[in-house]
Amino acid sequence: MPGIKPFLWFAAEAEEAAHHYVSIFPNSRVANVMRGGPGGGVIAVDFALDGNAFTALNGRPPGFTFTDATSFLIDCTTQDEVDHYWNALTRDGGSEGQCGWLKDKYGVSWQVVPRALGTLLGDPDPARSQRALQAMLRMKKLDIAALERAAGGA
């Protein structure tokens, strides 16, 4: 099967964004910077975030923006991971959304989700899963301990 990778279209921030994302995720790197735009400017950047390939392109026309219709989910195992990604992606102009969603400073949407959420929402006891769901719906950044307390009826 051919490789599939996200392709992000920026106005002029492709290289800056690639370096920003690489600084946040482990095992990440900028692989290739393609130049040749006006004055030798950057056209596109290939980069990898924890082994996942991305391309960032410059030249997005006015009026085109990123939307919530496309987002990237970060599957976290611990609250420290949730906190790290949430804080790093909302810093310097990002914005918090509801239920673990955020927009970074470039307008790209991310979901920072602990694996525990799937377990809690999939609990065979509908009352436990409903309590966890209701707790999640009131949160911005997801809090594993608070979700677990809510599921338990606390």
Q: Are residues 82 and 33 in the same domain?
A: no
Length of the chain: 154
pLDDT tens digits for the chain (154 residues)?
A: 678 899 999 999 999 999 999 999 999 999 999 998 678 899 999 999 999 999 999 999 888 999 999 999 999 999 999 999 999 999 999 999 999 999 999 999 999 999 999 999 999 999 999 999 999 999 999 999 999 999 998 7
Q: How far apart are CA 153 and CA 120, in angstroms?
A: 12
Q: What pTM does this model have? A: 0.93
What's 51's domain CATH number? 3.10.180.10
Residues 82 and 136 in one domain: yes
Which of 23, 22, 18 is closest to 33 using CA atoms? 18
Q: Is 90 found in the same domain as 59? A: no
Q: Strand order of the sheet with strand 95-96?
A: 71-76, 109-114, 101-103, 95-96
Owning domain of residue 120 = 66-154
CA 62 to CA 10: how far, in whole Å?
Answer: 10
**Does one domain contain both 60 and 87?**
no
Pick the last residue of a domain from 35, 64, 93: 64
The total domain count for the chain is 2
Considering the domain architecture, whether residues 13 and 56 belong to the same structural domain is answered as yes
